[in-house]
Chain A
């Protein structure tokens, strides 16, 4: 009889994940999203083992957990670079030239939104609206705002972060 290796990754014993999950009552699916949010805050992304552990904890199937996680834009399944550049693509930013900002970043970093540079320094992403519309076009790098940008000033900004390393 041939044995087939289990593909689910098994239930994790990673103490960081079990610590977070144990804060929530088990077999209750209402807390799934806060749970995943907390894991992502710790890891920067949702590792596969966390999804499996969350399924076990809540009593849902892994497919259901994965379904919820992929539904929301906030959740990521790959680790982030050191700096996350969020380009605001809201209406006000669009009208004031967000497309050029994004394009400049794409060609300069040679990545597309959702990807991370090879050196692991930058992750590029687009967001629907950061709500800083009066500063349009806006880019947020690790929570820090840069407003009223032009393709030239965005490169300057990038170089500042490169220097910081």
Chain B
């Protein structure tokens, strides 16, 4: 017996054809069906290795999620292999998903036998030698250390590792509470052993063995879990609707079509802990009585798809999915559907149309998918993060979950923290945590000592929260009140160099491009809004009187359009499309006024409102700017100061980017 999942001896009867009801509990506490000290000892030994207590050789763990790979984790991985082999070191290598500290990628953890696991950050190929030095000679490269993990065994005295800070005491992690992300970055996502060892599939065994579907729904309802995909509809109630329907077949769909630009929570969850999501899906399917399901994943997430495929194959081998799951008589088959790149498919009825092989366009509701969904059958659709919370709710109880968060928003929320912030990455905080705590305590403040301007929350359907609203707690109701929304959980922080008008224009161009075109308010309305926004940020030397009048009317026009779209668009995504414009108008009206009436951009970002000049005393006449200018608007002799011909200049800013002497100024 080498793994937690393998049989202790021939007396174990578990097989795919004849699954054992106590399979999971037996792996953790077993053997249960017979009494044998040897079998028991084998289980205890394997568990100790998985807990990091009885290591025979050092374990080197590399974060290989998409963000790790983007930072060069594969190169670090290869270099680690090369150098440890060259030194003749016997080490075990392990790959994990993302722990969320994306700003410190590539992250490598090392645990030596009988010592705590130590995490090292910002590892590059060149720095790998320091890690090998630690493996070989115990010299800790302290400047690379992020922190140490708590050690579950007995602390040895005099070890230098214990002088390092505990990773969970770091400001970036201290205020976080990890429920959905509990295993992300800690366990090998491909290892069912590691997942089960950390309590995985205990909830599923409990649901199938001891609870009726109604009990499961009751527990989820009592926990107060609400949909994490954006809407915030109570999950237990949604399952209840689908369960109440009578039909020969019901479907369950997991929405992993994470289309919000600036959000990557679902991706990290699927890459870092796919079994948890799958366990949640199984529990949901059992509760509502679904026999078939789909997980709809973005095609842009190849790694997540790969991890899901591996996990599903492994679960099939062990009768954790398919027919007669864990001997309970419950059947559930799950298929992976790869999305083909359409933002609107995040809307549930559009997603169903896409699974059916059609154009992904929403349809009016009712009938709701719970009564008429996929191929006309009752269908329940939940988000990845919602499912990831379910196993913990069942194993720790509804009361435990309900004790976290605020009165109406229970539990935690995962956010992708990005933009002009020091600690970019993935975070999970209890509902009700203030934006200030997220930005300044967890996020470590604005990059380059900049000034906080706003945080954009909720993606293209959400809004901005300015400085005055820094103390807003993140929960469903407070955010709606402030003109934003929870959305799926993208948090983009912007500083004083970001123009809010340009920012709103970015979102409206996005929704305009992604509009499915079915209803006029969204198709035409967002296009008119984009046109109006373009008019605000572009300077036109040949502007006619009519154009000027239109420009002056633009803010009124925007408000009118926004209200109409909000009231009349066919789907949720359309109705919320004007939100970024409305919220910037609400909090940053002065910036709009500066653009419209004074024709200037206070943040200095809207290029067409700037003028470019070359400072003669700084210019050395190298000609690089002239070479880069797409309009040939820069003239001058080699070795002499150059000049920009203003009439020809299209204000693209290419010259500034390439001037080695910082001689070009914009104002």
- Name A residues whose Cβ lies closer than 8 Å to a Cβ of B: 29-34, 36-37, 58, 67-68, 71-75, 89-92, 94-96, 100, 103-104, 107, 127-136, 138, 143, 145, 147, 150-152
Whether B264 lies near A135 (C-beta < 8 A) is no
In the assembly, what is the distance between CA of A92 and CA of B267, in Å? 16
Among A95, A100, A127, residue most surrounded by chain B Cβ atoms (within 10 Å):
A95
Which residues of A are found within 8 Å of B652, using beta-carbon distances?
103, 107
Residue pairs across A and B with Cβ atoms less than 8 A apart, 20 shown, are A33-B340, A37-B299, A71-B342, A72-B360, A91-B490, A91-B506, A91-B507, A92-B419, A103-B653, A104-B654, A128-B341, A128-B343, A129-B261, A131-B267, A133-B424, A134-B67, A134-B418, A134-B424, A147-B71, A150-B657
Whole-angstrom CA separation of A150 from B459 in the bound complex = 25
- Inter-chain contact B503/A131, CB cutoff 8 Å: no
Whether, in the assembled complex, B532 has its beta carbon less than 8 Å from a beta carbon of chain A, the answer is no
Q: Which of A37, A128, A135 contacts B67 (CB 8 A)?
A: A135
Q: Which residue of B lies closest to A126 (CB)?
A: B513
B356 & A30 in contact (Cβ 8 Å cutoff): yes
Whether A67 contacts B492 in the complex (CB less than 8 A), given A75-B340, A134-B424, comes out as no
Do the beta carbons of A73 and B342 come within 8 Å of each other?
yes
The answer to whether the Cβ of B333 comes within 8 Å of any Cβ in the partner chain is: no
Cβ A34 vs Cβ B342 within 8 A: no
Residue B197, interface by CB 8 Å: no
Sample of 9 more A-B contacts, CB < 8 Å, known A68-B357, A107-B630, A134-B418: A30-B357, A100-B657, A103-B654, A133-B264, A134-B425, A151-B654, A151-B657, A151-B658, A152-B658
B227 within 8 A of A: no
Measured CB to CB, the closest approach of chain A to B484, in angstroms, equals 14
Q: How many residues of B contact A (CB 8 A)?
A: 59
Whether B419 pairs with A96 at a CB distance below 8 angstroms is yes
**Could you say which residues of chain A place their CB within 8 Å of the CB of B114?**
none
Contact residues in B for A136 (Cβ distance below 8 Å): 418-419, 424
**Inter-chain contacts of A107 with B (CB < 8 A):** 628, 630, 652, 654
Mark interface residues in B241-272 (1 if CB within 8 Å of A CB, else 0): 00000000000000000111111100100000
Complex-state Cα separation, A138 to B459, whole angstroms: 18
- Give the interface SS of chain A, mostly helix, strand, loop or mixed: helix
Chain A residues near B302 (CB, 8 Å)? 143
Select which of B70, B301, B354, B359 is within 8 A of A145 by beta carbon: B70
Asked if B591 is an interface residue, CB under 8 A from chain A, the answer is: no
Cβ A31 vs Cβ B357 within 8 A? yes
CA distance A104 to B359 in the complex (A): 35
**Residues on B with beta carbons closer than 8 Å to the beta carbon of A133:** 102, 262-264, 416, 418, 424
Residues of chain A within 8 A (CB-CB) of B355 are 30
| Chain B positions 413 through 427: 1 when the CB is less than 8 Å from some CB of chain A, otherwise 0 | 000101110001100
Interface string of B39-77 (1 = CB under 8 A from A): 000000000000000000000000000110111000000
- State the CA gap A136–B264 with chains docked (Å): 13
B613 contacts partner chain A, Cβ-Cβ < 8 Å: no
A162 to nearest B CB, angstroms?
17
What is the 8 Å Cβ interface bit string for chain B, positions 395-428, against chain A (1 contact, 0 not)? Answer: 0000000000000000000001011100011000
List the A side residues contacting B262 at CB < 8 Å: 90-92, 129, 133
Ranked nearest first, the 7 interchain pairs of A and B with the lowest CB-CB distance are A134-B102, A91-B262, A72-B340, A90-B261, A145-B70, A73-B341, A92-B418
B518 CB, min distance to chain A CBs, angstroms: 11
Interfacial chain A residues near B583, Cβ < 8 Å: none
State whether A33 and B70 are in contact (beta carbons under 8 Å apart), knowing that A129-B260, A131-B301 are contacts in the complex: no
> Please, how many angstroms separate the alpha-carbon atoms of A129 and B354 in the complex?
20
